[in-house]
Amino acid sequence: MVGMYVGSTSGYSGKNLIAMGLGLKFQKDGLNVGYIKPVGAVPVQKDGKMGDEDAFFVQDVLGLSEDPEVVTPVLVTEDFKTKAFGGLTHDLMGDIKRSYETISKGKDVTIVAGSGSMYSGKYCNVDAVEVIRTLGIKSIVIDRYSKELNYDYLVVLKDTLGDQLIGTILNDVPMDFMDELKNMLVPFLERSGVKVLGILPRDPLLGAVQVGELAQRLNGKLVAAKDKADRVVENFLIGSMQVENFMTHFRKNKNTAIIMGGDRSDVQLVALEGECPCLILTGNIYPNDIILTRAEVKGVPIIVVRDDTFTMSKKMDAILSRMKLRDMVKIQQGAQIVSNNVDIAYIKEKLGL
């Protein structure tokens, strides 16, 4: 049985992206691919069976239809956490091992997907390091750029896992950081024994969200241009500044949602004329008739929310940083990015494929 654990230094680092991208490429190369997510953090029910939300999704993308209870043997429900913290769980690693053996039968390679960081689940001994060691499989670790990279963490993981760590994939790297990364950090990691398998450049599309979904996630109400709810938001800007300063910032940002108080009709009008993808008005204040009419003419959706501007900016930041791949355009784009930027031949060699 050949298995490969896909983990990360922190949550929301792109594990689904890498798992799907590698899985689709392996399938294209003629390999029979299995998929298991030992620990599921987002329990959902589908067709009468409980499983992990991401696991259901990745299985669909890879064209797999294994029993969700086998794919995700450890499902972190509220009841599970109560038992786990009380020391009342049974042999969870035994469940994971049996599921892995079942899924791997007849497969050329099985992708074992992580949840959270490499040490998530330590409280009940089902963290990534323990899973990798118990199953005796190789692993790759994703490190997503967020102001900096977790290079110390990667070196410690190499010391911990030794030859079971194939290497790292550095994800969501902005272009202005590429020179420093390639000239300084990559050589350091390589000298420390951490193979850099690929550098994935930042792609706004992968972190984008449609206006309709955004309204749902913000518990807001679409009050204008509802037929344009499929427009895409890649980032956001706070419209609390003076009109002249706002226009300067606004022109530099494409596909940017504007968050502002519902009483700022002057800035709202500027944003509408600049054809932003949507306006988010805070404080549960509805726009006046002039703004509503102009929004319909320009095809710019307006979302009204109860929260204040500061709270809404925090929510937007969390949503855009944690958006999951959920439509075919993103999946295809993500798979292509993985195929173009990751040394898949090296990974296959290390796996013996």
Question: pLDDT tens-digit profile of 223-277?
Answer: 888 888 888 787 787 776 554 555 555 555 567 888 888 888 887 887 887 778 8
> CA–CA separation, 107 vs 101, rounded Å?
10
pLDDT band for 72, please (50, 70, 90 cuts): very high
Is the four-CA dihedral 115, 117, 118, 119 of positive or negative sign?
A: negative
pLDDT band for 321, please (50, 70, 90 cuts): low
Average pLDDT, the chain: 87
* C-alpha torsion angle, residues 258, 262, 265, 266 (rounded to 10): -50
Cβ neighbour number for residue 179 with a 10 Å cutoff: 9
Global confidence as pTM: 0.76
Record: fold of 209-322: 3.40.1390
CATH for 3-203+324-351 (3.30.420.10, 3.40.50.1820, 3.30.420.40, 3.40.50.300): 3.40.50.300
SS3 assignment, position 42 = coil
> CA–CA separation, 172 vs 57, rounded Å?
21
Phi, psi of 123 (to 5 degrees): -65, -20
SS3 assignment, position 181 = helix
| Biggest alpha carbon–alpha carbon distance for the chain | 66
Cβ neighbour number for residue 49 with a 10 Å cutoff: 11
CA distances from 235 to 68, 71, 253 (A): 35, 35, 8
Check if the beta carbon of residue 287 is closer than 8 Å to that of residue 265: yes
Percent pLDDT > 70 in the chain is: 92
Q: Which residue shows structure tokens 């990751």?
A: 342
Q: pLDDT at position 244, please?
A: 52
Q: On the CB side of 176, how many CA atoms lie within 13 Å of its CA? A: 2
Q: What is the mean pLDDT of residues 18-44?
A: 94
Q: On the CB side of 119, how many CA atoms lie within 13 Å of its CA? A: 6
Domain definitions of the chain by residue range = 3-203+324-351, 209-322
Q: pLDDT at position 5, please?
A: 98
Given a cut of 70, is residue 35 above it in pLDDT? yes
